[in-house]
Structure formats: structure tokens, C-alpha cells
């Protein structure tokens, strides 16, 4: 997550003489990475990347805290100022008149709730210093009260919210999980239909006044006429905030913080800051007791790391004083013995749970750049590559050498494309929250993706030769998808012979003979011009109706193969035959064949008639005449004319007997 940190604002929390360049270099070495230094209206603004496990650093004071621990390691003095955790909480002791307000919440969804009511609020523009700071972090100012909540979120990393108290019907605020189908209109004017389980607050009329952790409700928003305000600072169940934000595709800065799990111990200090600012900038008076619902206060836990493990992992022996200094500057309480380090992290560092977390903190603050390079004492580990990766690369290389262009398409397809290739949507995985109607289902086949690629390119290139080797997602009831490595090859035109040749060459890579092809491919293909390749796939011309629906003007021939299944049946041992010492003899035999006679079975039969027939290929096809190019060869002698005549007679006899084919005179 990236945040913007104005230099002047940072120095309100950090006393140091470090230059912006030094801040960028040293923080990036040991902590939050300052990606770049921008200049906005003459002000320096750092663009800082914070790792997702460190919500405590996703604020101005969070970056200042990191800098105060890192800069002294480079000889630059730095002190954290205005640390909210050291602020004293002060509450006014008054007898407030009873304001009818009933709050109901649940600890599971809302670990901590703090609120207080202000009266005599004066809504107006914010002072220039506040406007300037919010603009530098990319926030549009609205009015003094709302701007205060945005200031608190960016300064301390703790979102806050304000309600117009007079819009809360009957003074009732009930935080609960949403029911499926309930609707809430947020501050941006968007109405959301909730999937259920979302954290919401309803008032006495049943109206939803807050989509918690995401954005406030429009019905309870602050307006120019607002005079009574309820300030609300809180924490939520991070998993539910994440789920709601993703389900509704509604991302906000507040959601980005809440979903990472905020520290409930920070709530009261930020709440106190909010009270002080509202009094100062909006002239409000507190007219209620402070409500603080915190049923399970934080209890510190200790983590133990063995010193031998620390030295082993870092590769450098750290002295006791060094360890104490590093961890203390990070806010940890430590007890160090000769054999172990016992660490009690502060409430805001809940990412420190294991001994390796302690080691990571020691290593980064000590400085990865200071750890000496050292080769392992033992031999390098053996790396076993997944067999399919090498096979996939080899297939891609061969297809590229043969003049085919690789395509990359999305793993999701639309309902229209799914229907086009006649797949049942009930046996396909539907995405719960698709980002587009074009990407709704996980594709069970590469066919629709390739057809779309052909459609988009056919106007630029008439002779397309494309392939894609990627994953398909086969449906398994009550289970996760079966991911299969799948190849699809496509060529423009009626080119069955070309595609079949590609199939034969690919099967040869795996040492598998091309299967008997008797059944037609599925309904996406022309029944009379397609064949199924056993359990491995199918090939043929795409059905004309499918092409017409997509607006593809010319025929398309395709090959689909499951690489996983080919690999499963791959011959593990390759047999090589020595180059014969004796030359081969060749001749062409033309046969007159009956209608609808398949050539492949004839070629296969010829190949088995005699051991000296080494190769058979189709030389020519004209009307009902099929001419075969036959290669004869012996590994022990030169073949005589008589021996070749004998083999030829056997070929003629078998072709007549099994296929009704006669030799053309």
C-alpha cells in the first residue's frame, strides 16, 4: 500500500536534521520504501510503500516512528514527537443532561467503540493549514468537521467518522451484520445491495445509516445545517471489512486500513485528538459522557527467540546491547539472557508473533546491506523441475519454429462465449464478484478464447497461424477446479491435413502413436470434418454456425490437446535405431478407392504388411485416386527387384481385401 507523506507534516512528528534525500535512502534500506520524492506546490511529498502486514506504519506518525528507529543507525539523531500512545487521556467531569442515545454493538464485529456528542457545532470551511495538508495527500476538503476525520486518518492511521445526531431516528444506533438484500446509500450517492453479513449500523426506523469500515450513510451525513455531531472512532473485524469491500467493489482508504487489522489501543488517543480538534476548529461543546465499549482489552504476549538461531539466520553475532537498542527503539520491551531474547511487542506490532519475526526486525534495522556475503557451507540443494514445464517450453519452441504465433488470453470468459461452445454453465465455475460481464466464468476450454483472438485479428491477417498453451478449469462437484495444461492450435481455412500433421508431430514428442480417429469432435466442430483424438483431445473444422455468430468470414481449423494427459502416458524410454548401412528404395502406388474411404487406416495397414516397409505417406489425392509414397529398406542387405515386387503384391492384395481398393493401371 502506498501513502503520501508531506515532509513538513512528517516533521511535526519527527525531530531530525535528516535531509529528504537521506530520509529516502535510509528508510528505503531498513523500513518503509520511499519510492519517489515529489514536489507539489513547492512542498516536498514522499511517496511511501508500506507492506500490507504493517498497518501501524500506514500514517504520518507511523512513518515518523520508523524513521526515529532507523536514522540513528546511520548517525543521524531522530526523535519521535507527539506519539499518540504517550498522550494522557483527559475527560471532563460534568453532569450532562440526558440525551436519548441507545448503542448496541457486538465484540466480534466491533472490538472497540468510542463516541461522544457535540452541540453548538459551527459547520464551515477548514483553516488554510488543514486544507493545505489534506490537498498534499490527495484529499478534497469538504468542511471543518469532515476534514478533521480525514486529518486523523492520515496523521494516525485510524479512520474516524461523524454523524449528524438529529438524523438518527429515536437516538438508536445498532451495529449488526446486514441481511442479504438490504440496501444502503453511501456518502457518494451510490446505493448498494448488500450480500449479507456486512457490518452496518441501523437507527430506530430500521434505516441503515453507516456501511461500517467502508463509507458512511448519506442519510446521516454532515450538512451546513448540522448543529449536533456524534464523533465515532472504532475498530472492526478486518476479514468482514475486506469481504464487503471486495464484494461491492467499493474501495476506500478507510477500508484499506480496517481490513488489515487496526490496533484498538490507538482508538482512544485518536478519539482524544478528534475531540480537541473539533473544539478548536468547529467551536463544539461536549454534551454527553464518552462511550467506550471495549470488552476485551489488549493483553501483551511475549515471543522468545534463541540467540543461536538469531546468529544463524542473520549470519552475524549481535551483542546484547545492540539487540536491546534495536528492539527498544521499535517500542518493544525486552529481556535478554545468554541463550535467548524475550520480546513483548507493543500493541501496534501484532505482526510480531514468532521468533523469525524478531529476527526479521533485528536484521532489517541492523541493515541487510551490512550483513557480509557468505557462501553456504553445504552443497547447493537439488532442484527438481516439474516435468510439464520443460515439455511446455519445448512445445512452444517447436510451434514457434513452425511459424505459429503464441497468444495470451484471459482465463475468464463471458456467458455468451460459454453458450457459443455449448457448455452447461451449471458445470462451470462462476466468479462471485466479476469485474466485468466479459469475465464471468473460469474457462473450461481454450476454444472461445482462441475464436475471439481469430475474430480480432482476421481483418489484419488472412493466413492466421496461432496457438495458446494455458490452463483450463474442469468442473468438479463440491470441489475446487481441476486445472489442466491445455494446448490449442488454430489455422485459417479448411486445412485438416496441416493440423493433423501438427498433431502427429506433437504425439511423437511424447512417444505416443496417434490414436485411432473414428468419433467426431464435440458440437463446436463440423461433424463430418472433425475427429476425436481419444482421451487426449480433438481436431477439425469449427462449425460454420459458430463462426457466423462471431462474424468470422472464413473457415477455421483447430487442434485441442491435453498436455497433462499426454504427459501421463508419455513413454519414459526413447528407442533409437541406427542409421541403415544399405540404401532405401522408393515407389509410388496409386489406388482407386471406394467413396468415403479413410486414408489413415490404409496407410497404417500398408506399414504393417512387411518389416521392410519403413515409411508410407500420402503423395497425392485426386477424385477417388489415392497415391502413396512407399519407402522400402533393409538393415542387412540391398533389396532386389524381385523382393520389392513380392512386397508390392502383398500390398495390392491387402488393399483390395480390406478396403476394396485396386491398383490404378
Concatenating the DSSP letter of every residue in 572-624 gives: SS----PPPSS--EEEEEEEE--TT--HHHHHHHHHHH-TTEEEEEEEEEETT
For the entire predicted model, the pTM comes to 0.68
CATH, domain 2-82, list 3.40.50.720, 3.30.56.10, 3.20.20.140, 3.40.50.12240: 3.30.56.10
Q: Please give the pLDDT value at position 436.
A: 83
User: Exposure of 665 by Cβ count < 10 A (0-12 exposed, 13-18 middle, 19+ buried)?
Assistant: exposed
User: Exposure of 379 by Cβ count < 10 A (0-12 exposed, 13-18 middle, 19+ buried)?
Assistant: exposed
Task: Report yes or no: 626 and 591 within 8 Å, Cβ to Cβ.
Answer: yes
Please check the confidence at residue 146 and state whether its pLDDT lies above 80: yes
Provide the b/e sequence for 501-531 (b: ≥16 CB within 10 Å): ebbeebbeebebebeebeebbbebbbeebbb
CA atoms within 13 A on the CB side of 338: 0
CATH, domain 585-663, list 3.30.300.180, 3.30.70.380, 3.40.47.10, 3.20.20.70: 3.30.70.380
Q: Please give the pLDDT value at position 217.
A: 95
Q: Would you place residue 92 in the very low, low, confident or very high pLDDT band (cuts 50, 70, 90)?
A: low
Task: Report yes or no: 226 and 193 within 8 Å, Cβ to Cβ.
Answer: no
Strand partners, 335: 342
- Asked if the 102-293 domain carries CATH number 3.50.40.10, the reply is yes
Please check the confidence at residue 517 and state whether its pLDDT lies above 90: no
Cell output for 122? 459551527
**For the segment 100-139, what is each residue's pLDDT rounded down to a tens digit?**
899 999 999 999 999 999 999 999 999 999 999 999 999 9
Provide the b/e sequence for 336-354 (b: ≥16 CB within 10 Å): beeebbebbbbbbbbbbee
**For the segment 256-276, what is each residue's pLDDT rounded down to a tens digit?**
999 999 999 999 999 999 999
**For the segment 347-376, what is each residue's pLDDT rounded down to a tens digit?**
999 999 999 999 999 999 999 999 988 887
Please check the confidence at residue 97 and state whether its pLDDT lies above 90: no
Q: Average pLDDT for residues 4-31, to the nearest whole number?
A: 96
Taking the C-alpha atoms of residue 397 and residue 406, their distance in angstroms, rounded to an integer, is 10
Q: Average pLDDT for residues 556-584, to the nearest whole number?
A: 88
Strand ordering across the sheet containing 333-336 = 303-306, 340-344, 333-336
Q: Please give the pLDDT value at position 432.
A: 85
Please check the confidence at residue 572 and state whether its pLDDT lies above 80: no
Q: Please give the pLDDT value at position 6.
A: 97
- Other Cβ atoms less than 10 A from the Cβ of 412: the count is 20
Taking the C-alpha atoms of residue 431 and residue 186, their distance in angstroms, rounded to an integer, is 25
Taking the C-alpha atoms of residue 352 and residue 350, their distance in angstroms, rounded to an integer, is 5
Task: Report yes or no: 523 and 419 within 8 Å, Cβ to Cβ.
Answer: no
Q: Average pLDDT for residues 443-469, to the nearest whole number?
A: 94
Per DSSP, helices labelled H in 105-188 are: 128-136, 144-156
Q: Please give the pLDDT value at position 383.
A: 83
Please check the confidence at residue 574 and state whether its pLDDT lies above 90: no
Q: Average pLDDT for residues 433-445, to the nearest whole number?
A: 88
- Give me the phi and psi of 645, to 5 degrees please: -60, -40
Spatial neighbors of 611 by CB under 8 A, at least 6 apart, are none
Spatial neighbors of 661 by CB under 8 A, at least 6 apart, are 591, 592, 593, 594, 597, 602, 626, 655
Spatial neighbors of 491 by CB under 8 A, at least 6 apart, are 463, 464, 465, 466, 498, 499, 556, 557, 558
Please tell me if the domain spanning 102-293 has the same topology as the one spanning 585-663: no
For the chain, domain boundaries: 2-82, 102-293, 303-370, 387-568, 585-663
Q: What percent of the chain has pLDDT over 70?
A: 100
Taking the C-alpha atoms of residue 62 and residue 131, their distance in angstroms, rounded to an integer, is 21
Q: Please give the pLDDT value at position 399.
A: 96
Q: What is the dihedral of CA 324, 329, 332, 333, to 10 degrees?
A: 50
Please check the confidence at residue 195 and state whether its pLDDT lies above 80: yes
Taking the C-alpha atoms of residue 638 and residue 646, their distance in angstroms, rounded to an integer, is 15
Strand ordering across the sheet containing 625-632 = 613-622, 625-632, 585-592, 662-663
Choose among 540, 397, 521: nearest CA to 469. 397
Taking the C-alpha atoms of residue 486 and residue 657, their distance in angstroms, rounded to an integer, is 41
Strands (E) located in 418-569: 441-442, 465-474, 482-492, 525-532, 537-542, 556-562
Kindly state the DSSP code that residue 246 receives in the 8-state scheme.
Answer: H
Q: What percent of the chain has pLDDT over 90?
A: 83
Q: Please give the pLDDT value at position 137.
A: 96
Q: Please give the pLDDT value at position 17.
A: 96
Taking the C-alpha atoms of residue 602 and residue 437, their distance in angstroms, rounded to an integer, is 50
Give the homologous superfamily in CATH for domain 387-568.
Bira Bifunctional Protein; Domain 2 (3.30.930.10)
**For the segment 373-389, what is each residue's pLDDT rounded down to a tens digit?**
888 778 888 888 888 99
Q: Please give the pLDDT value at position 655.
A: 95
Kindly state the DSSP code that residue 186 receives in the 8-state scheme.
Answer: B
Please check the confidence at residue 95 and state whether its pLDDT lies above 80: no
Q: Average pLDDT for residues 86-90, to the nearest whole number?
A: 78
| Helix and strand numbers, DSSP H then E, in the chain | 19, 32
Task: Report yes or no: 185 and 217 within 8 Å, Cβ to Cβ.
Answer: yes
Task: Report yes or no: 664 and 626 within 8 Å, Cβ to Cβ.
Answer: no
Please check the confidence at residue 580 and state whether its pLDDT lies above 70: yes
Q: Average pLDDT for residues 80-105, to the nearest whole number?
A: 83
Concatenating the DSSP letter of every residue in 528-552 gives: EEEEE-TTSEEEEEEPHHHHHHHT-
The residue with cell 540467540 is 307
Higher pLDDT among residues 72 and 574, named by residue = 72
- Give me the phi and psi of 80, to 5 degrees please: -80, 130
Taking the C-alpha atoms of residue 443 and residue 412, their distance in angstroms, rounded to an integer, is 5
Cα end-to-end distance, the chain, whole Å: 81
Q: How far is CA 388 from the centre of its chain?
A: 23
Q: Please give the pLDDT value at position 26.
A: 96
Q: Would you place residue 93 in the very low, low, confident or very high pLDDT band (cuts 50, 70, 90)?
A: low
Q: Average pLDDT for residues 19-39, to the nearest whole number?
A: 95
- Average per-residue pLDDT in the chain? 93
User: Which uninterrupted H or E stretch holds 328?
Assistant: helix 320-329
**CA-angle at 14, arms to 323 and 54, nearest 5°:** 60
Please check the confidence at residue 235 and state whether its pLDDT lies above 80: yes
Q: Please give the pLDDT value at position 459.
A: 87
CATH architecture of 303-370: 2-Layer Sandwich (3.30)
Taking the C-alpha atoms of residue 617 and residue 604, their distance in angstroms, rounded to an integer, is 10
Task: Report yes or no: 77 and 17 within 8 Å, Cβ to Cβ.
Answer: yes
Q: Please give the pLDDT value at position 475.
A: 93
Task: Report yes or no: 316 and 366 within 8 Å, Cβ to Cβ.
Answer: yes
Choose among 195, 119, 207, 209: nearest CA to 161. 209
Please check the confidence at residue 94 and state whether its pLDDT lies above 80: no
Amino acid at each position: 500500500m502506498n501513502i503520501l507523506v508531506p515532509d513538513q507534516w512528517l516533521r511535526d512528528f519527527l525531530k531530525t536534521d535528516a535531509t529528504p534525500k537521506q530520509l529516502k535512502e535510509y528508510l528505503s534500506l531498513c523500513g518503509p520504501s520511499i519510492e519517489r520524492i515529489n514536489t507539489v506546490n513547492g512542498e516536498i511529498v514522499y511517496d511511501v510503500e508500506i507492506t500490507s502486514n504493517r498497518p501501524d506504519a500506514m500514517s504520518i506518525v507511523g512513518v515518523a516512528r520508523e524513521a526515529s528507529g532507523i536514522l540513528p543507525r546511520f548517525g543521524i539523531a531522530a526523535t519521535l514527537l507527539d506519539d499518540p500512545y504517550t498522550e494522557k487521556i483527559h475527560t471532563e467531569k460534568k453532569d450532562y443532561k440526558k440525551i436519548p442515545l441507545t448503542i448496541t454493538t457486538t465484540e466480534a464485529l466491533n472490538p472497540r467503540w468510542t463516541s461522544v456528542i457535540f452541540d453548538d457545532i459551527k459547520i464551515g470551511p477548514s483553516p488554510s493549514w488543514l486544507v493545505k495538508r489534506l490537498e498534499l495527500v490527495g484529499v478534497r476538503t469538504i468542511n471543518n468537521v469532515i476534514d478533521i476525520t480525514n486529518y486523523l486518518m492520515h496523521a494516525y492511521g485510524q479512520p474516524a467518522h461523524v454523524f449528524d445526531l438529529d438524523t438518527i431516528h429515536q437516538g438508536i444506533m445498532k451495529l449488526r451484520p446486514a441481511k442479504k438484500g438490504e440496501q444502503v446509500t453511501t456518502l457518494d450517492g451510490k446505493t448498494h445491495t448488500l450480500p449479507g453479513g456486512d457490518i452496518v449500523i441501523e437507527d430506530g426506523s430500521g434505516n441503515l445509516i453507516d456501511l461500517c469500515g467502508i463509507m458512511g450513510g448519506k442519510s446521516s451525513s454532515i450538512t451546513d445545517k448540522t448543529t449536533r455531531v456524534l464523533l465515532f472512532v472504532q475498530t472492526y473485524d478486518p476479514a468482514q471489512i475486506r469481504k464487503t469491500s471486495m464484494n461491492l467493489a467499493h474501495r476506500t482508504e478507510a477500508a484499506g486500513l480496517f481490513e488489515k487489522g487496526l490496533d484498538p489501543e490507538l482508538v482512544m488517543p485518536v478519539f482524544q485528538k478528534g475531540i480537541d480538534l473539533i473544539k478548536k476548529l468547529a467551536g463544539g461543546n461536549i454534551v454527553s459522557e464518552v462511550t467506550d465499549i471495549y470488552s476485551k482489552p489488549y493483553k501483551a504476549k511475549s515471543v522468545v527467540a534463541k540467540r543461536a538461531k538469531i546468529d544463524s539466520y542473520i549470519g552475524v553475532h549481535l551483542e546484547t546491547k545492540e539487540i536491546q537498542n534495536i528492539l527498544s527503539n521499535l517500542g518493544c520491551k525486552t529481556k535478554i539472557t545468554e541463550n535467548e531474547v524475550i520480546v513483548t511487542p507493543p500493541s501496534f506490532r501484532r505482526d510480531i508473533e514468532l521468533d523469525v519475526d524478531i529476527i526479521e526486525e533485528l536484521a532489517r534495522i541492523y541493515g541487510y546491506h551490512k550483513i557480509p556475503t557468505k557462501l553456504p557451507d553445504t552443497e547447493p540443494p537439488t532442484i527438481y523441475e516439474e516435468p510439464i514445464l520443460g515439455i511446455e517450453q519445448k512445445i512452444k519452441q517447436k510451434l514457434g519454429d513452425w511459424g505459429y504465433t503464441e497468444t495470451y488470453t484471459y482465463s475468464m470468459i463471458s456467458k455468451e462465449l460459454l453458450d457459443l461452445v455449448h457448455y452447461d454453465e451449471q458445470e462451470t465455475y462462476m466468479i462471485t464478484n466479476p469485474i466485468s460481464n466479459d469475465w464471468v466464468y473460469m474457462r473450461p476450454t481454450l476454444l472461445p478464447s482462441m475464436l475471439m483472438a481469430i475474430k480480432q485479428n482476421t481483418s489484419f491477417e488472412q493466413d492466421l497461424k496461432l496457438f495458446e498453451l494455458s490452463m483450463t478449469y474442469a468442473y468438479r462437484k463440491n470441489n475446487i477446479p481441476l486445472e489442466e495444461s491445455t494446448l490449442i492450435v488454430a489455422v485459417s481455412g479448411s486445412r485438416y491435413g496441416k493440423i493433423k500433421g501438427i498433431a502427429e508431430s506433437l504425439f511423437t514428442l511424447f512417444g505416443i502413436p496417434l490414436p485411432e480417429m473414428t468419433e467426431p469432435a464435440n458440437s463446436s466442430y463440423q461433424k463430418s470434418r472433425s475427429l476425436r483424438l481419444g482421451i487426449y483431445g480433438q481436431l477439425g473444422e469449427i462449425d460454420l454456425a459458430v463462426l457466423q455468430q462471431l462474424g468470422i468470414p472464413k473457415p477455421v481449423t483447430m487442434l485441442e490437446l491435453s498436455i497433462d494427459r499426454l504427459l501421463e502416458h508419455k513413454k519414459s524410454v526413447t528407442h533409437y535405431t541406427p542409421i541403415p548401412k544399405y540404401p532405401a528404395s522408393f515407389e509410388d502406388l496409386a489406388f482407386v478407392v471406394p467413396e468415403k474411404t479413410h486414408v489413415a487406416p490404409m496407410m497404417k495397414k500398408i506399414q504393417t504388411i512387411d518389416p521392410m516397409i519403413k515409411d508410407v505417406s500420402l503423395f497425392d489425392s485426386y477424385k477417388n485416386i489415392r497415391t502413396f509414397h512407399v519407402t522400402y529398406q533393409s538393415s542387412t542387405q540391398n533389396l532386389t527387384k524381385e523382393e520389392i515386387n513380392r512386397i508390392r503384391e502383398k500390398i495390392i492384395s491387402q488393399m483390395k481385401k480390406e478396403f476394396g481398393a485396386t491398383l490404378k493401371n
